[in-house]
Protein backbone atom coordinates (compact mmCIF):
# COMPACT_ATOMS: atom_id res chain seq x y z
CA UNK A 1 0.00 0.00 0.00
CA UNK A 2 0.88 3.66 -0.25
CA UNK A 3 3.02 5.18 2.49
CA UNK A 4 2.08 8.24 4.49
CA UNK A 5 4.36 9.68 7.13
CA UNK A 6 3.51 12.04 9.94
CA UNK A 7 5.72 14.10 12.20
CA UNK A 8 6.04 14.42 15.11
CA UNK A 9 4.68 11.18 16.48
CA UNK A 10 4.25 12.62 19.93
CA UNK A 11 4.26 16.12 21.33
CA UNK A 12 3.72 17.54 24.77
CA UNK A 13 3.24 21.27 25.03
CA UNK A 14 2.09 23.94 27.41
CA UNK A 15 -1.34 25.47 27.18
CA UNK A 16 -1.40 28.47 24.85
CA UNK A 17 1.35 27.33 22.52
CA UNK A 18 0.93 26.31 18.89
CA UNK A 19 1.82 22.92 17.50
CA UNK A 20 2.49 22.06 13.87
CA UNK A 21 1.97 18.54 12.53
CA UNK A 22 3.27 17.48 9.13
CA UNK A 23 1.74 14.85 6.87
CA UNK A 24 3.64 13.59 3.85
CA UNK A 25 2.76 11.14 1.10
CA UNK A 26 6.06 9.37 0.44
CA UNK A 27 5.51 7.42 -2.73
CA UNK A 28 2.57 9.12 -4.40
CA UNK A 29 1.12 12.54 -5.01
CA UNK A 30 -1.95 13.56 -3.08
CA UNK A 31 -4.01 16.51 -4.20
CA UNK A 32 -6.28 15.81 -1.24
CA UNK A 33 -5.38 14.83 2.28
CA UNK A 34 -7.66 14.40 5.27
CA UNK A 35 -7.14 15.30 8.90
CA UNK A 36 -8.83 13.30 11.63
CA UNK A 37 -8.93 13.41 15.39
CA UNK A 38 -9.57 10.42 17.61
CA UNK A 39 -10.32 10.51 21.31
CA UNK A 40 -9.81 7.37 23.42
CA UNK A 41 -12.28 4.59 22.63
CA UNK A 42 -14.02 6.75 20.03
CA UNK A 43 -14.16 6.72 16.26
CA UNK A 44 -12.13 8.76 13.86
CA UNK A 45 -13.68 12.17 13.41
CA UNK A 46 -12.93 14.01 10.19
CA UNK A 47 -11.78 17.53 10.94
CA UNK A 48 -11.03 18.89 7.50
CA UNK A 49 -10.17 18.09 3.92
CA UNK A 50 -6.91 19.60 2.78
CA UNK A 51 -6.67 20.56 -0.87
CA UNK A 52 -3.42 21.36 -2.60
CA UNK A 53 -3.36 24.94 -3.79
CA UNK A 54 -6.65 25.97 -2.24
CA UNK A 55 -8.31 26.48 1.11
CA UNK A 56 -9.13 23.54 3.30
CA UNK A 57 -12.71 22.50 3.84
CA UNK A 58 -13.64 22.15 7.48
CA UNK A 59 -16.27 19.91 8.99
CA UNK A 60 -19.06 21.41 11.01
CA UNK A 61 -17.93 22.42 14.48
CA UNK A 62 -14.23 22.56 13.63
CA UNK A 63 -12.78 26.05 14.02
CA UNK A 64 -10.72 26.94 10.98
CA UNK A 65 -8.86 29.68 12.86
CA UNK A 66 -7.79 27.25 15.53
CA UNK A 67 -6.81 24.39 13.26
CA UNK A 68 -4.83 25.93 10.43
CA UNK A 69 -4.24 23.73 7.43
CA UNK A 70 -1.74 24.38 4.67
CA UNK A 71 -1.38 22.05 1.71
CA UNK A 72 1.71 23.55 0.15
CA UNK A 73 2.63 20.78 -2.26
CA UNK A 74 1.32 17.52 -3.69
CA UNK A 75 3.09 15.58 -0.96
CA UNK A 76 2.79 17.75 2.12
CA UNK A 77 -0.03 19.02 4.27
CA UNK A 78 0.40 20.63 7.67
CA UNK A 79 -2.03 21.07 10.55
CA UNK A 80 -1.27 23.74 13.12
CA UNK A 81 -3.16 23.66 16.39
CA UNK A 82 -3.06 27.25 17.54
CA UNK A 83 -3.24 28.30 21.18
CA UNK A 84 -3.61 24.71 22.26
CA UNK A 85 -5.61 23.88 25.38
CA UNK A 86 -5.86 20.66 27.36
CA UNK A 87 -9.12 19.75 25.61
CA UNK A 88 -7.19 19.68 22.32
CA UNK A 89 -5.21 16.72 23.62
CA UNK A 90 -5.96 13.89 21.22
CA UNK A 91 -4.63 11.58 18.55
CA UNK A 92 -4.39 13.45 15.24
CA UNK A 93 -4.14 11.35 12.10
CA UNK A 94 -3.83 12.32 8.47
CA UNK A 95 -4.70 10.25 5.43
CA UNK A 96 -4.36 10.46 1.69
CA UNK A 97 -5.66 8.62 -1.36
CA UNK A 98 -3.46 7.80 -4.34
CA UNK A 99 -5.06 8.97 -7.57
CA UNK A 100 -4.56 5.55 -9.12
CA UNK A 101 -6.30 3.63 -6.36
CA UNK A 102 -9.87 2.70 -5.56
CA UNK A 103 -10.39 5.72 -3.32
CA UNK A 104 -9.00 3.84 -0.34
CA UNK A 105 -7.31 6.08 2.20
CA UNK A 106 -3.92 5.36 3.69
CA UNK A 107 -3.15 6.76 7.10
CA UNK A 108 -0.11 8.31 8.62
CA UNK A 109 1.08 6.88 11.96
CA UNK A 110 -0.64 9.66 13.87
CA UNK A 111 0.49 12.34 16.29
CA UNK A 112 -0.37 12.08 19.94
CA UNK A 113 -0.78 15.60 21.32
CA UNK A 114 -0.82 16.26 25.04
CA UNK A 115 -1.46 19.81 26.18
CA UNK A 116 -0.57 20.48 29.79
Partner 1 sequence: RKEVEQDPGPFNVPEGATVAFNCTYSNSASQSFFWYRQDCRKEPKLLMSVYSSGNEDGRFTAQLNRASQYISLLIRDSKLSDSATYLCAVNLLTDSWGKFQFGAGTQVVVTP
Question: Binding residues for partner 1, per CB under 8 A?
Answer: 1, 32, 34, 42-44, 46, 49, 51, 57, 91, 93, 97, 102-110, 112
Nearer to partner 1, 51 or 82 (CB): 51
- DSSP collapsed to 3 states, 27-46: CCCCCEEEEEEECCCCCCEE
Q: What is the largest CA-CA distance in the chain?
A: 42
SS3 of 86, please? helix
Nearer to partner 1, 8 or 109 (CB): 109
Nearer to partner 1, 34 or 67 (CB): 34
CB of 68 to partner 1, least distance (A): 19
CB of 103 to partner 1, least distance (A): 5
Nearer to partner 1, 28 or 107 (CB): 107
Task: Give, in order, the Cα–Cα distances in Å from 45 to each of 13, 38, 59, 98.
Answer: 22, 6, 9, 21
Amino acid sequence: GAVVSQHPSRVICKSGTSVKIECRSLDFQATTMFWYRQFPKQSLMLMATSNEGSKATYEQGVEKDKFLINHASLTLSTLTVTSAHPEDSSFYICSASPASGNNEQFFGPGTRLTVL
